[in-house]
Amino acid sequence: MNLVRLADEAYKETLKPTSKYREVSADTRVPYISLLDHSLLTSGIAVACVKELILRGSSPLELSGYNLTEEEAIASVRIASLFHDYGKIYQTHLGHIEKGVNFVRSWLEEKGIEGIKKEVILREIERHHLRKNPESLLEKIVCLADSIASAGDRPDLSDIKTYKELVDKTQGTIELEKEIFGEKHGLALILGDTDRIKFYVYETTKLPAIRGASEILKELNEVKTKEIFSSHLVPECLIYSGGGSFLGIVPVSLADTIKSEVEKAYLVETSVCTISIVFKPLSYLNFARGIEPYVEEGFSPIFRNAKGIGNWLLESHFGKKMEFKDKKGFGEFVQSLAYELKREKETKERVPFFEVLPIVERCQYCGKRAAEKLDEIGTEKFTVCYVCKKSVDKGRRDRTILLDCFKNWIEKNYGVNEEIEKAIPCPDLDRIGNYIAFIYADGNEIGETFSRIKAPSSYKHFSESLKEATENSIFEALYKGFESVIRDNQLPRNDDGKPYLPFEILNIGGDDVAVLVPAPFSWKVALKFLEEFEERTKKLAKELGNKEGKFTSSCGILIAKSSYPMHYAERLAEGLLKKAKKKAKEKDKTKEETKSAVCHLYLTTSIASEDAEGLLKDFYEREHEKFTLTLRPYTLEEAKVILDRIGDLKIATSQIYKLAQSLEKGIHFSYGFYLYQSVRGSIEGKENGFQKKTEDLFKKLGCGEPNILWKKTEKGFATPLYDILELLKIGVNKIG
């Protein structure tokens, strides 16, 4: 069999769901890093090393000592790296090299690989530790790749405090690296992030166009980028891709080429959307200890004596407790590269621009570019630009990546559902509902946590685990939110009689999600997501040493008419998310922990604004009276109490308006009116305990001064009653 095809087969074998690689830890000292994570990363690093030497002019004969082709030399280290620790699947690390060699020998013979090719691969596995004295360059490369892949996870390296200790622990590997690459770096870390995603995705109110644009970017990020890496290297060189970003390890000599090809792919596919990419050469010490200084020795006096701006700068990087040891590792290097990426985005000089002459008809969807295509919706015809036409055609397909993922998830967790199997994406925004909710959620302080990750194998593991937890959380939230509709086969149908899902999953990134749901379902879906996210990330938080034992998330919810421009809806939802994140960081007297939080805004009229905080202030703050008609944002626990208490409340719409108007007239008047209406029985639901339930709720939210409707705050007084009345008007209490 061809050695290159055999390497591809070995790669696919390791990725199988039944692969034992998933069940065994790569290092008994770091139980959460699987053999799969370590082996894939070792393979990617080894291939990048070989490719760099080939690009520098080294021949396969110089690399291996034999007349192999370049492709065979690369395939040999790939196979050796994927199987170098295979012996560990026998649940013991003792003698794992010999066991691995024996397995691979039999496997190669079974595949018809004999002679020199077989011996080259077996020697690369046999000598992948320094103490085994690797001889050929290929053997040394596999040895170096193995050391790099596990560098930051080694406890003995993380405890280093002096330069002498650093030299003692790493000298052999550093000398090996220099022997392979000389004085020049051989590897580079490359980081990319899509620019202005939201301006591209949400520039129209047509749901198929929004969905199509999102789908195009998802394919570029998760499919096309991987194809580009694979065409020059192997998929294992890509550490992570998702949510519009990617991170990979590449040969220094190839970094510019990969950067250019990915950038070109984005422009070719979208015409208007770009991606910013930066790369930086790195060495073994960067993998193991982040950026300089590598050790605390000589740096401690700077910590102790820093004042003013100097102290602030150190705290911004190392934290207020100056946790030098916790910060040093691969994550610190990634963070430094992320700063360069941010600067690259901010200083970008060229962006795609389509000039439109005054005499040219503009696109009826985006209103930005010249119309040059015809789009038909039923009997209506619209003149649209090339960009919108491409997006809308993509979005009208019966299958999308996220929809297929959701269907597969339901089948895996709840069994086959024929109605769901037939379901197509929602035709347009008005089919979701007259009022729809834009839910935008994002993890709290996840970036800071990732900057403390020690090794690239850990980075890959945590990135993929977080992505999986986020995806499972939103899928569970949507399924539970619409369970009765899905379970009872009550999905709505389009004009052709096909069932469709009455919501839209716009995006699922690493730890962030964006979905559209009918307004009454907004709180149930959002709170369920926050709850699931906390639960599903507990294991990950424990592995990362998170003191709180869980990760939390925050959520912004913008509720508006389906005709409201999506650009404004997204911007306002993001602003509400920021408000929720501020609430999440507030520490109470009993627990020093970050909480999940939610903040919503209900628009009954279309307002052209991107300032969520400004709208909340204008709508609810009465500065001259020193009171506020809202207690938003709420923590997850507070929001759950609200949703639980108002679940079966019944109150006439006219009474909702009267109570809301009474709140405008002040603290004492509103309380008097509330008591009067309660006693008089005008509030429908006297039998279901409206007053008792709401007063119990007010107490749990800290109200009671000067009366049960109000809570004393720094700015004066605030009430949750207006929020409750809004939620009742939206109909969140009608969703079981």
Give the tens place of pLDDT for each residue, 343-365.
Answer: 999 998 778 888 899 899 999 99
114 phi and psi angles, rounded to 5 deg: -130, 180
Distance CA 350, CA 382 (A): 31
With contact defined as beta carbons under 8 Å apart, do 548 and 566 qualify? no
Distance CA 179, CA 143 (A): 12
| Number of neighbours of residue 676 by Cβ within 10 angstroms | 11
Among 573, 601, 618, the domain-final residue is: 618
- Closest residue by Cα to residue 447 from 341, 592, 567: 341
Query: What pTM was computed for the model?
Result: 0.91
The CATH number that applies at residue 557 is: 3.30.70.270
Both 522 and 412 in one domain: the answer is yes
- Structurally, the chain folds into a number of domains equal to 4
Distance CA 390, CA 270 (A): 8
* Residue range of the domain that includes 157: 3-181
pLDDT digits (tens, 9 = 90+) for 214-237: 999 999 999 999 999 999 999 999
In a domain, 317, yes or no: no
In a domain, 306, yes or no: no
With contact defined as beta carbons under 8 Å apart, do 53 and 63 qualify? yes
In a domain, 320, yes or no: no
Both 603 and 629 in one domain: the answer is no
In a domain, 295, yes or no: no
Both 601 and 647 in one domain: the answer is no
With contact defined as beta carbons under 8 Å apart, do 683 and 691 qualify? yes
Among 584, 618, 652, the domain-final residue is: 618
Pairing of strands 25-27, 30-34: antiparallel
The CATH number that applies at residue 112 is: 1.10.3210
Both 46 and 139 in one domain: the answer is yes
With contact defined as beta carbons under 8 Å apart, do 626 and 716 qualify? yes
Cα angle: 682, vertex 684, 685; to 5 degrees:
135
The CATH number that applies at residue 341 is: 3.30.70.2220
Please provide the DSSP assignment of 158-195 as one string.
HT--SHHHHHHHHHHHHHHHHHHHTTS--EEEEEEEES
In a domain, 93, yes or no: yes
In a domain, 441, yes or no: yes
Both 422 and 521 in one domain: the answer is yes
Question: CA separation (Å) from 444 to 317, 553, 587?
Answer: 18, 5, 14
- Closest residue by Cα to residue 580 from 560, 610, 558, 559: 558
In a domain, 253, yes or no: yes
The whole-number pLDDT of residue 452 equals 76
The whole-number pLDDT of residue 130 equals 84
Query: Of how many residues is the chain composed?
Result: 736
Both 657 and 721 in one domain: the answer is yes
Both 550 and 680 in one domain: the answer is no
- Closest residue by Cα to residue 645 from 529, 554, 724: 724
Distance CA 462, CA 451 (A): 12
Terminus-to-terminus CA distance in the chain, angstroms?
A: 59
Give bridge partners of residue 541 from the DSSP assignment.
none
Question: What does the CA dihedral 420, 421, 426, 431 come to, rounded to 10 degrees?
Answer: -40
Both 195 and 172 in one domain: the answer is no
Q: Which two tokens stand for residue 108?
A: 């190669």
Q: Which helix (H) or strand (E) holds 553?
A: strand 553-561
Both 630 and 649 in one domain: the answer is yes
In a domain, 124, yes or no: yes
State the burial class of residue 203 (Cβ atoms within 10 Å of its Cβ: 0-12, 13-18, 19+): buried
Pairing of strands 621-622, 627-628: antiparallel
Distance CA 466, CA 491 (A): 31
Among 181, 201, 229, the domain-final residue is: 181
Q: What residues of the chain score a pLDDT lower than 50?
A: 682-688
- Closest residue by Cα to residue 271 from 148, 366, 347, 382: 366
Both 172 and 31 in one domain: the answer is yes
Q: Which two tokens stand for residue 296?
A: 């605390």
The whole-number pLDDT of residue 328 equals 81
Both 556 and 407 in one domain: the answer is yes
Both 527 and 584 in one domain: the answer is yes
The whole-number pLDDT of residue 589 equals 53
Q: How far is CA 244 from the centre of its chain?
A: 9
